[in-house]
Structure 1
């Protein structure tokens, strides 16, 4: 898998708000992210000089949503920590090691949704349990729906035939609350998680 399959889909539970927003909803009960057009990035401030980011290149999980069943929407997603990429090999190794994510002992990041709340015509707030290392705490993603329906690329490639949706999900957390406080405040404690995803309905 590539960057794309990532977790961003975790906040895709916001699909549950589509019928309420007057946007045609699909009839599928589950959705899968397109690995070529899904990415998860984490942004942080570096010593007050610049905003930097890390990216995760793999993602597994499932979003469940049936038309009209807002309360029944759920998502359970996992990110293999070893897929983290910065473009700098030494930094990648540091992130995977005991100083930060400690991939040997904690190989996965997991998000399990617990609630979905509509906040606008094309916006929702998805709350869930985020597990990093041995800490599980609530996290909230603000989700924007960009589009839902047939994918125009389906006219060229069979993979893109069917019903699709596109979202952006954004959350901010204090990394120290998940035992990830190394080098704070040189690297900011507050980090921004941004997920962009295209997901295909599984009929």
Structure 2
């Protein structure tokens, strides 16, 4: 399993940017970040990172709406930078990693809303709750990677994207300490992916 892999279900927007895309994309683990942000009692914005994600993306070359995707994130890969806080979040007060080790997303629709923008809706499952979440996806670049001139690993066709969603954690049975810690959570994914 790749480290720091993207929520692949958010990346079907790439199909609209080029007529010569592969059907499968693989994430570059060294150039992918999955981060979550929240307000801490009105004093600061805090964040954590998930360092492992497994996922798959399939899409039609001639129809973005036909794209489908799935991703799963091991909760144990979460890193806040504070060991005690990691343990608190893994506990049954929040993620309950012992009983619910994965967070998953299964796409239900893709919609093109601009030349390089897409809205991706799907079922987001956290713990034992599944609810709809919507990601705004921006495609930054599609094509030959300039670094490929120097390193074979980067040869071929690549995609660069950002995907953002905002959810309320209380809707996934994780409402402890709201509103001292904000209910609203912002998910930000940045990734480079290679065509297969």
TM-score range, shorter chain: over 0.9
Q: 1:183 is matched with which residue: 165, 177, 180?
A: 177
Question: Is the deviation greater in 24-33 or in 121-130?
Answer: 24-33
Give, in angstroms, the shift of residue 182 of structure 1.
Answer: 0.9
Per the normalisation by structure 2, the TM-score is: 0.96
Per the normalisation by structure 1, the TM-score is: 0.92
Maintained 8 Å contact 1:6/1:56: no
Structure 1: 5+ residue runs without aligned partners? none
* Local SS of the residue matching 1:5: coil
Maintained 8 Å contact 1:31/1:199: yes
Q: 1:31 is matched with which residue: 10, 16, 25?
A: 25
Structure 2: 5+ residue runs without aligned partners? none
Q: Distance in 2 between matches of 1:42 and 1:184?
A: 16
Higher strand share: 2
Give, in angstroms, the shift of residue 66 of structure 1.
Answer: 3.4
* Local SS of the residue matching 2:195: strand
Q: 2:96 is matched with which residue: 102, 108, 129?
A: 102
Q: Distance in 2 between matches of 1:142 and 1:72?
A: 17
Corresponding position of 2:51: 57
Q: Distance in 1 between matches of 2:166 and 2:20?
A: 30
Q: 2:187 is matched with which residue: 179, 193, 196?
A: 193
Q: Distance in 2 between matches of 1:25 and 1:53?
A: 37
